Chains A and B, each alone.
Chain A
Amino acid sequence: DQQVKQNSPSLSVQEGRISILNCDYTNSMFDYFLWYKKYPAEGPTFLISISSIKDKNEDGRFTVFLNKSAKHLSLHIVPSQPGDSAVYFCAAIHNQGGKLIFGQGTELSVKP
């Protein structure tokens, strides 16, 4: 039972353009969401998070949007840079705290 889903395994974007990574969830008890970036053979590094009481959170080039009614969130990277090329995971936390539930990841490739 995949409670957090990233339906696009890969995404290719031109440098300077916008990258949009999508994530859907099924459990209405999730109320905190995070995005992580991961390089091969390394641990994930935290990018940005959003609480369910908000619909947008911005940090520099990264913006996360949350649509609770659709149980959908997205990560926007503007402008995209070649160094952004990595696998991006969205994750969710139950409202009682505890473990992160991850999506399958989306591999972003930003081409010069």
Chain B
Amino acid sequence: EAGVTQSPTHLIKTRGQQATLRCSPISGHTSVYWYQQALGLGLQFLLWYDEGEERNRGNFPPRFSGRQFPNYSSELNVNALELEDSALYLCASSFGTDRNYGYTFGSGTRLTVV
């Protein structure tokens, strides 16, 4: 069974540009979560999508947005990139909102803003 896949692995952007990160959940998983791990910091919750709807949002500015497609894959968009957006962005998936099924993480996208 394929795990959670994220693309690209690495992304280098210039300040002010837009970045698009992609996530494919485990087959059958309907929920996708996005987290940011800045250097030396913990995992900060960004966004949660379930069944195509945004269910919850972390304490991030509106320039962080995303969507979930009918096949449950997801995109995270970061507009007007700032230097402090440089971080590892992690995606996790789960089966609906039932935590007993567990949360599986991808390997992340390393975003560098220069």
Interface residues of A (CB under 8 A from B): 32, 34, 36, 41-46, 49, 89, 93, 96-105
Contact = CB atoms under 8 A, between A and B. Distances in A.
B110 A41 contact: yes
A31 to B, nearest CB: 9
Contact of A44 (B56, B97, B98, B105): B105
Nearest to B42: A104
Given A99-B56, A103-B42, A104-B42, A43 B103 contact: no
Interface residues on B, range: 20 to 34
Interface of B: 4, 33, 35, 41-45, 48, 55-56, 88, 90, 92, 97-100, 102-108, 110
A26 to B, nearest CB: 15
Contacts, number: 56
Contacts of B48: 98-99
B105 to A, nearest CB: 3
B33 A41 contact: no
B99 A41 contact: no
18 contacts: A32-B99, A41-B107, A43-B90, A43-B105, A44-B90, A46-B104, A49-B102, A89-B42, A97-B99, A98-B48, A99-B56, A100-B45, A100-B103, A102-B42, A102-B43, A102-B44, A104-B41, A105-B42
